A and B are shown apart, each in its own frame.
Chain A
Amino acid sequence: MSVLKIKDVSKIFPNGNVRAVDSFSLEVADGELVCLLGPSGSGKSTLLRMVGGFERPTSGEMTIDGEDITHVPPEKRPTGMVFQSHALWTHMNVFKNLAFGLKLRKVAPDEIKRRVEAVLDLVGLAGYGTRHVAQLSGGQQQRVALARSLVLEPKILLLDEPFASLDQHLRERLREEVRDIQQRLKITTLFVTHGQDEALSMADRIVVMRDGKTEQIDRPDVVYREPQTPFVAGFIGTMNLIEGNVANGIFSKAGYSTPLPVSDGPAILAVRPEALDLAVASEGSQGKVHRVTDYGTHGLVDLELNDATRVKAMVSHPDLFRAGQGVTLAPRAIAAYRDGVVIHRA
């Protein structure tokens, strides 16, 4: 039963005067897995390291189950951190890596043995206790790193891009395993990634970060379907963002126009490729096919509006389209943004 609360936390690094995290607030519910997602340098690691106690916040406060941990050193925090570079102690074998924290807590030797074996079993490495760290594969090392945190039963589990150094296939498998374990143990988890697939497939909620600030906090499907800002729209999945103008309820951009019931002024029209229908047009075309890619199950058409603005559309019959053809665009779902916020959705 553990709740993490982050209230108005900021971090300014004295050297360079970077505002790495900027008045950030978040509440992670008991047993919830929240993903921090954002581009490189958006402050994800800094935030996570502040929760783990490795960076001091410049201002703000953090609590776990109501207890203020803002100024508690890392060794006294009920948090467990898994680092990107596994950070296993190479001068110890697997068993000793896992037992170290338990020994510090003065757990009895046979109890240590029992708990280490149980957690090794949990991460699928039963019998690997006597192995040395260097004798493990990358995926196994990361599992041991996870086990090292889990064996201490932390209230909050922190993971900083734990799979970033693994290959795609292994990454997907470990992602599922970690999610499984997390749900089985019902452990409150904060997970940093800059891979949207990872966030979308694992998280109960996603926090999209940019320049140390929150852009949006929502369930993965909501973040995907209803991005609140053009930044989120462009960052999650593939999104066509067309910058144009609205006059008398009509959005237009270089020969393309579509009704948009908002007040006059500049606007960004957002359309997912899978929500954009195309039709070959001999006259009155709004764009020109640039390239067609056939993926077997579907096709992707790259097209250009009259001013060379690129737009992507997903089509079920790519063989209907040919480079150079004129097409008309018919979006099935759109959103419009102005001044960084959503102003219309249909």
Chain B
Amino acid sequence: MTSVTIRRPTDWTGIIFAVVLTLVIVLPLVVVGTWAFTNVWRFPALIPQEFGLRFWNQTLARADVWSSITMSLTLATTVTFLSALVCLPAAYAFARLDFPGRNILFFSFLAGHAFPKFGLLVAIAGIFLQLNLIGTFWGVVLIQLVGTLLFMIWIPVAAFQSVDRRMEEAARDVGASPMRVFWSITLPQAGPTIAAAILLSFVGTFYETEGAWLIGAPQVRTLPVLMISFINNQPVIQYGAVLSVLLWVPSFIALLFARRVVNSGSFARGFGG
């Protein structure tokens, strides 16, 4: 074997693409990240005059920040858990059973996302007002639950449909009840894809602001809602920046997980790939 070196022409399109992406995505992140660890940064200096954790101390000393972090985590966990509880069996039914109205019901989940979301939210808020759900934890749970339906139905349906029916039948054959087959065979088989759906709905719920604000404010305050109010009401940029960095944490962890799932290849299989 002789090794051949192929000189590739400089890929200018690729380079321009990379540069633009860097400017658009990375630069704002760097700016926000820098602000979060800045004590003094006065115009027109290009780099801050003084780095430090002063605003971290100040931000984390605030009770409303801690209560909103707890609130956000509790909300996202509750919503994701309930959503899984409701949606996974429903998705299984959509994937495996044929019942009257199946298709209409299936597409209705999509329809919920076809309207401008805010309009829908306001309409729901009207109903919640009558039900005394405005400003309550469960009101926000309910509204965010609606937001997860799309991920938690459509993706798992694809995942369940790609599970070999013969595997399920073989499990029935050795004595497993339909419920047992679902837990021991179907769910693990569809596992990676469903994990991705659960992750998406957790992250989506964690960052959801419109519903949380419209239904929850002012009693229920999630971290993103708090951040918005900080940015709107406080002249200090660092508060918003620190909260932004805090908010990165869950999505960063989610990304790490998602990478593993997607790399495993079973994610593509979930879509019949």
Residue of B nearest to A87 (CB): B166
Asked whether A104 lies within 8 Å of B169 as measured between CB atoms, the reply is no
Q: Name the one of A54, A88, A90, A104 contacting B175, with C-beta atoms under 8 angstroms.
A: A104
A-side contacts of B173, CB under 8 Å: 52, 74-75, 79-81, 149
Q: Which of B169, B188, B189 is close to A74, meaning CB atoms less than 8 Å apart?
A: B169
B223 at interface (Cβ–Cβ under 8 A)? no
Of the residues B166, B167, B176, B184, contact of A75 by C-beta under 8 Å: B176
For B191, list chain A residues within 8 Å (CB).
Answer: 91
Which of B164, B169, B172, B174 is packed against the most chain A CB atoms within 10 Å? Answer: B174
Chain A residues positioned under 8 Å from B169 (CB to CB): 52, 54, 74, 81, 83, 87
Digitize A51-67: 1 where CB-to-B-CB distance is under 8 Å, 0 elsewhere. Answer: 01110000000000000
CA distance A122 to B169 in the complex (A): 24
Which chain B residues (126-178) contact chain A, with CB distance < 8 Å? Answer: 164, 166-167, 169-177
Q: Is B180 an interface residue (CB 8 A)?
A: yes
Binary contact readout B31-65 vs A (1 if CB under 8 angstroms, 0 otherwise): 00000000000000000000000000000000000
* Most B-side CB within 10 Å, residue of A52, A76, A101, A148: A101
For window 142-200 of A, CB contacts with B under 8 Å fall at: 145, 148-149, 152
Q: How far is the CB of B265 from chain A (nearest CB, A)?
A: 12
Whether, in the assembled complex, B185 has its beta carbon less than 8 Å from a beta carbon of chain A, the answer is yes
Instruction: From A80, A81, A89, A152, give the contact of B185 (CB < 8 A).
Output: A89
The docked-state distance in angstroms from the alpha carbon of A119 to that of B174 is 15
Contact A87 B174 (CB under 8 A): no
A150 to chain B, nearest CB (A): 11
Give the number of A-B contacts (CB < 8 Å): 64
Q: Is A328 an interface residue (CB 8 A)?
A: no
Could you tell me the distance between the alpha carbons of A52 and B173 in the complex, rounded to whole angstroms? 7
| Interchain CA distance A318-B177 in the complex, whole Å | 62
The smallest C-beta distance from B189 to any residue of chain A, in angstroms, reads 6
Known pairs A87-B164, A89-B185, A90-B189; A75 contacts B170 (CB<8 A):
no
- Residue-wise, chain A 96-124 has the 8 Å CB interface mask toward B (1 for contact) of 00001100110000000000000000000
Interface string of A271-295 (1 = CB under 8 A from B): 0000000000000000000000000
Decide if B164 touches A152 in the complex (CB within 8 Å): no
Residues of chain B within 8 A of A234, CB atoms compared: none
Chain B neighbourhood of A89, CB < 8 A: 167, 170-171, 185, 188-189
Is A73 in the interface zone, CB < 8 Å from B? yes
Question: Are B166's CB and A101's CB within 8 A?
Answer: no
Are the CB atoms of B172 and A83 closer together than 8 Å? no
Please determine whether B170 and A148 come into contact, CB atoms closer than 8 angstroms.
yes
Contact: B166 with A100, CB < 8 Å?
no
Chain A minimum-CB-distance residue to B167: A87
A100-B164 in contact (CB<8A): no
Query: How far, in Å, is B240 (CB) from chain A's closest CB?
Result: 45
Shortest Cβ gap from B179 to chain A (Å): 11
New A-B contacts (20) at CB < 8 Å, excluding given A85-B164, A85-B166 = A74-B169, A74-B172, A74-B173, A75-B175, A76-B175, A80-B173, A81-B169, A87-B167, A89-B167, A89-B185, A89-B188, A89-B189, A91-B188, A100-B174, A104-B174, A104-B180, A105-B175, A145-B170, A152-B174, A152-B175
A–B pairs, 7, beta carbons within 8 Å: A52-B169, A74-B173, A75-B175, A89-B185, A91-B188, A91-B189, A152-B174
A-B residue pairs, 9 tightest by C-beta = A101-B174, A87-B166, A87-B170, A74-B172, A104-B175, A91-B188, A81-B173, A75-B175, A83-B166
